[in-house]
Structure 1
Amino acid sequence: MNDGDIGFEVLATAAYKGERVAARRLAGRSQLPESDALLQVLTQAAGAQGLPHLLAERSALRQRDEQRRVAKIEEKAQQLALRKQRMQPSAESWRGWFDGSAHPNPGQIGIGALLCGPAGERIEISRRSGHGNSGEAEYMALTALLEAAAQAGAQGLVVYGDSQVVVNDVNLGTQAIAAGRGAKGLEAHRARVVELMESMGTVSLRWVPRHRNGDADRLSQQAIDRTVCADRLGAASDF
């Protein structure tokens, strides 16, 4: 095949961006068709090896680039699938949700937690837990959940909470905690939670938005509501 028989699309596909720009400039200066100008530019770039060799070389390069691109896409898809698989608890896993409330903040603490097992086990926690702030309330709820899970012999526990402060604090890691990056004033609570998690083996703690933590929130609010009712009854009995 003569160089002149090579179609413009083949040349344009093989050309680099700078070569296409050079061809357009050449066509403008010399009044050549752009296809002829591009043919001249690529023929000059090919040198002694010849244009067919240049086109074959660049075609092979494009194929390798495409293969690498496809491989990267497949690798990302596999990583995403593995991540989703890890995030999805197995049928044998226990799952738990926790929430703590302080009314006002700081104030009376109510904690709520729900623990569900693979065989239909369901443990609800809803109780008062003294006075403190919202961070302490969340930690107390998580602690109560883990203690109940340990007593129930829960395995492969996945715990969900809507407190980013607590979830991030627990998941910091020992090096970050040693560097003083943990939440201030909650060190004792974190130490207790970490101790419980380590004693139970594999425990995963994950954040969820509040609307996906409804049962635990309801249980914590019930504890506060019972406190309010008890206080009102106590006040009424004084008359």
Structure 2
Amino acid sequence: MSTIFTRQQLIAIATRKEYAQSRQLAKQKRLPIEQCLSLLLEQSAKHGGLQDISQLAEQRSEAKNADNARKQAQRAEKQEQRKNQLHRQSSMQKNANTWLAWFDGSALPNPGKCQIACVLTSPEGHSFEYVQNFEYGDSCDAEYSGLLFALLQAQHHDVQHLIVHGDSQVVIDDFNQHKASKLARMLEYRQQAQLLAARFEQLQVRWVPRHKNQTADALTQMAISLKLDCKSL
């Protein structure tokens, strides 16, 4: 004997698409929506090699539970990664040899001529500012080039412990591979940055909002105005 489901139970079993189709069918045939839902769910059960709606409901419930468990595990993993990241950040901030860097890149127009800049601050508080122009690219080219520029300048100072800040969420996420791009040029930039990063004992690249990246941003704007050519200040 087949199980009789209430309207609410059928709605809970159905997918959004099945529910929408049942409403449309009920309107066309002038039938109760639960009757149309039962018909569609029976068809879905047969297509899935199941005997009836009860088996379909059980299968979907198990799939939903598995999906919820997967999402919970992912959240737990992210929390653990965040915890470890905060621990590493705290360790680096306490390191007396840690340098700080800020970078920025700009294209005017976009795409157009690009200006990049970085600011390095030593553990003793000494600041070093650098700007550079290159011929053509878009804002993403400029920002990623700004990151590479900062890493190169830090290596010229024999820096081994470095925390880099930038206001390009796209570039920061790509470098840290939180949201790695599949574009060929982004992959090339990322590989270059990773090669440079491997030369540091400790390196972190962090996103900051633009208002906290004012010095590097001001340097790129000055490079636009003065059209500086590969010149460090």
Give the TM interval when normalised to the shorter protein: 0.5 to 0.7
The answer on whether the counterparts of 1:89 and 1:158 sit within 8 Å (CA) in structure 2 is no
Q: Which residue of 2 aligns with 1:171?
A: 176
The answer on whether the counterparts of 1:165 and 1:183 sit within 8 Å (CA) in structure 2 is no
Q: Can you give the 5+ residue segments of structure 1 that lack an aligned partner in the other structure?
A: 1-75, 231-239
How much has 1:186 moved relative to structure 2?
A: 1.9
Code of the residue aligned with 1:148 in structure 2: it is Q
Larger Rg: 1
Q: 1:84 to 1:157 in 2, by over 3 A?
A: closer
Check if 1:161 corresponds to 2:166: yes
Q: Which residue of 1 aligns with 2:213?
A: 213
Q: Which residue of 1 aligns with 2:117?
A: 112
Check if 1:124 corresponds to 2:129: yes
CA distance in 1, matches of 2:89, 2:200: 23
Number of residue pairs matched by the alignment: 147
CA distance in 2, matches of 1:153, 1:160: 19
Q: Which residue of 2 aligns with 1:200?
A: 200
How much has 1:185 moved relative to structure 2?
A: 2.7
The answer on whether the counterparts of 1:112 and 1:221 sit within 8 Å (CA) in structure 2 is no
> Secondary structure of 1:94's match?
strand
The answer on whether the counterparts of 1:98 and 1:114 sit within 8 Å (CA) in structure 2 is yes
Taking structure 2 as the reference length, the TM-score comes to 0.57
The answer on whether the counterparts of 1:162 and 1:207 sit within 8 Å (CA) in structure 2 is yes
The answer on whether the counterparts of 2:92 and 2:161 sit within 8 Å (CA) in structure 1 is no
**Percentage identity across paired residues of the two chains:** 37
Question: Please, what is the CA RMSD of the aligned residues?
Answer: 2.7
Q: Can you give the 5+ residue segments of structure 2 that lack an aligned partner in the other structure?
A: 1-79
Code of the residue aligned with 1:104 in structure 2: it is P
CA distance in 2, matches of 1:109, 1:141: 10
Code of the residue aligned with 1:224 in structure 2: it is I
The answer on whether the counterparts of 1:169 and 1:190 sit within 8 Å (CA) in structure 2 is yes
CA distance in 2, matches of 1:120, 1:219: 19
Q: 1:126 to 1:85 in 2, by over 3 A?
A: same
Q: 1:182 to 1:158 in 2, by over 3 A?
A: farther
How much has 1:151 moved relative to structure 2?
A: 1.2
Structure 1 runs (4+) greater than 3 angstroms displaced = 79-84, 86-91, 181-184
- Greater helix proportion: 1
Code of the residue aligned with 1:102 in structure 2: it is A
Q: Which residue of 2 aligns with 1:93?
A: 98
Code of the residue aligned with 2:151 in structure 1: it is L
Q: 1:199 to 1:182 in 2, by over 3 A?
A: farther
CA distance in 1, matches of 2:189, 2:144: 6
Check if 1:140 corresponds to 2:155: no
